[in-house]
Amino acid sequence: MPPIFISISRPFLRSKLRLATILPLLKPRTPSRRLGTPPPPSSSPQSRADRIISKLPRYLHPYATPLLHHPTSHLTSFLILHELTAIIPLFTFFYIFQLTSWNPADLLPKEWIENGYTKFKSYIEKKGLQKWVDGRGVMDLATAWAVVKAAMPLRVVVSVWGAPWFARVAVLPFVRLFRRV
């Protein structure tokens, strides 16, 4: 009796396997999309920022995505870094020009140096700092300001590049500190 059961079940299994392989072939095919047709609309609506980020190259996505979650902290960190990349080099160049008596005023536009000279001269007179800063010091300060102004594109790149890190390290912990209070 057992040999008959086995012999009966094998053809039954074979016919089931055959049907399982044939049935998908018998299903009607869905029409394929042509390359020129737009993709089907997604079920979840995308914000304008999501659409902009999706158009960026893939390697920029990790840098742009945190901007969606904390835009204020990233903007704040950009502004802080932008000011730091102006103030620190300004006083550094001023100190170098004071120590070395070297002044690259010939390499910079004269209008920038003249504009800086009038700004700093009036500020020094207004605050009463004439006894600490002489004419040469004002000229060195104006030249340092022109050098920092010439480095503006580099400052912007450094500020944009460092904004996510600075937001994570300095701005967000500061915000969390005040949320607890």
Nearest 5 degrees, angle CA 116-CA 86-CA 91?
70
Is residue 6 very low, low, confident or very high in pLDDT (cuts 50, 70, 90)?
very low
Q: Rounded to whole angstroms, how far apart are CA atoms 121 and 104? A: 19
Q: Three-class SS of residue 40?
A: coil
Query: pTM for the full model?
Result: 0.63
Neighbouring residues of 34: CB distance < 8 A, sequence distance ≥ 6: none
Q: Which residue has the higher pLDDT, 22 or 82?
A: 82
pLDDT digits 0-9 by tens, 127-139: 988 888 888 889 9
Report CA-CA distances (Å) from 160 to 78, 101, 170: 6, 34, 15
Pick 144 or 16 by higher pLDDT: 144
What percent of the chain is predicted at pLDDT more than 70?
Answer: 75
The tens digit of pLDDT for each residue in 15-74 reads 555 555 655 555 556 555 556 666 656 556 677 777 888 888 888 787 777 777 778 888
Q: DSSP string spanning 107-169?
A: GS-HHHHHHHHHHHHHHHHHHT-TTT--HHHHHHHHHHHHHHHHTHHHHHHHHHHHHHHHIII
Tokens of 123: 């500020």
